[in-house]
């Protein structure tokens, strides 16, 4: 990585894994100007693909997940913060469901329902009313 101040190479002087949110925190130091700064590295689900509604595929959208959770949590005072935290938690749990860059819509719904059930039962019922897993018969 290059220095954000002078553009020269940097070295890692400290690194920590953040298990709950699946990120890596790193302290870096520039070899030239000796400036120290912090970076946070996270896996990118935007490259993941969601198999939705039959065989159709679409890119994973963190925003869609956030908005669906926010809609269910509107009755709470801190709905935006709660939806943001739950979105991060659900995405962290989805990494175990990704198979060759693909996660199914059903896995997203199941994971979201479980997280909402543990957090707020009213929100879980609201989410379940609008997000169903359709099975082929």
Taking the C-alpha atoms of residue 116 and residue 124, their distance in angstroms, rounded to an integer, is 5
Q: What is the pLDDT of residue 23?
A: 80
The alpha carbon of 17 is separated from its chain's Cα centroid by a whole number of angstroms, namely 16
Residue 136 predicted with pLDDT over 60:
no
pLDDT at 14 over 70: yes
pLDDT of 54: 65
Q: Quote the pTM value.
A: 0.66
* Cβ atoms of 3 and 32 closer than 8 Å: yes
pLDDT above 70 covers a percentage of the chain that reads 85
**CB-based contacts of 33: which residues, under 8 Å, 6+ apart?**
3, 5, 6, 8
Q: Residue 83, exposed/middle/buried by CB under 10 A (0-12, 13-18, 19+)?
A: buried
How far apart, in whole angstroms, are the C-alpha atoms of residue 77 and residue 59? 31
Helices (H), the chain: 62-72, 79-94, 105-119, 121-130
- The least confident of 26-35, 43-52, 106-115 is 43-52
What is each CA distance from 101 to 21, 86, 104, 113, in whole angstroms? 19, 22, 10, 22
What is the rounded average pLDDT of the residues 3-10? 91
């Amino acid at each position: 990585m290059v220095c954000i101040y002078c553009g020269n190479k940097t070295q890692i002087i400290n690194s920590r894994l953040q298990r709950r949110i699946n990120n890596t925190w790193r302290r870096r130091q520039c070899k030239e100007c000796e400036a120290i700064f912090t970076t946070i590295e996270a896996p990118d689900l935007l490259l993941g693909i969601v198999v939705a509604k039959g065989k159709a595929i679409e890119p994973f959208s963190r925003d869609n997940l956030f908005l669906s959770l926010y809609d269910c949590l509107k009755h709470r005072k801190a709905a935006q913060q709660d939806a943001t935290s739950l979105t991060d938690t659900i995405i962290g749990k989805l990494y175990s469901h990704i198979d060759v860059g693909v996660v199914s819509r059903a896995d997203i719904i199941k994971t979201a329902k479980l997280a909402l059930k543990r957090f707020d039962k009213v929100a879980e019922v609201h989410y379940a009313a609008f997000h169903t897993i359709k099975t082929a018969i």
